[in-house]
Structure 1
Amino acid sequence: MKVRENSYIKKTFTIKNKLGLHARAAAQFVQVANKFAADVFVEKEGQEVNGKSIMGIMMLAAGCGSQIIVKAKGEDAKGVIAALQTLIDGNFGEE
């Protein structure tokens, strides 16, 4: 299925790992996002940042229990959302 150029796929996630989106987790998030051509944005409490920017992700200060909205637009938008879901659901490889 081809995604229309102006449409975003959105998914809300709850950050469950104990340390939240700290430096290592943010780096993993950005690394996964950068494997895809789709534009990726992350929003928390009205603040939106580029999902392919480690500084942007860290600026969100998304701690454990925070809800973030991930938006992706582009041909592989569904793929990047699925890959980020796997990363987040796996608690970024942390306990």
Structure 2
Amino acid sequence: MAERTVSVTSEVGLHARPAATFVQTAAKVPFDVTIAKAGGAPVSAKSILSVLALDVRQGESIVISADGEGAEELLDELAQIASAP
């Protein structure tokens, strides 16, 4: 399983538009993708409600994990979305 730890830099954290873009990107692949706050329980990165419920704020770290063909490339893309200002 591939994994990335990313610091969220957006002023709004991982809410609203950044969360929607994140979830839409994760939903494009046929394998499991999870997101968790550092030290927290992982949730599906394909569920907008689950991602919003994490309440990720600016400056917090998240851990994104994926398991499948193309997981590294997907994680790179998700990390870029999460760390965009």
TM-score, L = length of structure 2: 0.89
Paired with 1:89 and 1:22, the residues of 2 have a C-alpha distance of 13
Of 10, 24, 33, which aligns to 1:40?
33
TM-score, L = length of structure 1: 0.81
Q: Report the equivalent of 2:76.
A: 82
Q: Shift in Å at residue 89 of structure 1?
A: 3.1
Post-superposition, which runs of at least 4 consecutive aligned residues in structure 1 deviate over 4 A?
none
Q: Report the equivalent of 2:14.
A: 21
**Alignment partner of 2:42: what SS?**
strand
Q: Shift in Å at residue 16 of structure 1?
A: 0.5
Paired with 1:81 and 1:64, the residues of 2 have a C-alpha distance of 19
> How many corresponding residue pairs?
84
Q: Report the equivalent of 2:58.
A: 64
Task: Quote the RMSD (CA, aligned, Å).
Answer: 1.2
Unmatched runs of 5 consecutive residues or more in structure 1: 1-7
For the pair shown, the structure with the greater C-alpha radius of gyration is 1
**Alignment partner of 1:42: what SS?**
strand
Paired with 1:46 and 1:86, the residues of 2 have a C-alpha distance of 21
Answer yes or no: is the 8 Å Cα contact 2:14–2:82 preserved in 1: no
Q: Shift in Å at residue 56 of structure 1?
A: 0.5
The question of 1:31 aligning with 2:24 is answered: yes
Identity of aligned residues (%): 35
Larger relative contact order (CA 8 Å, sep ≥ 6): 2
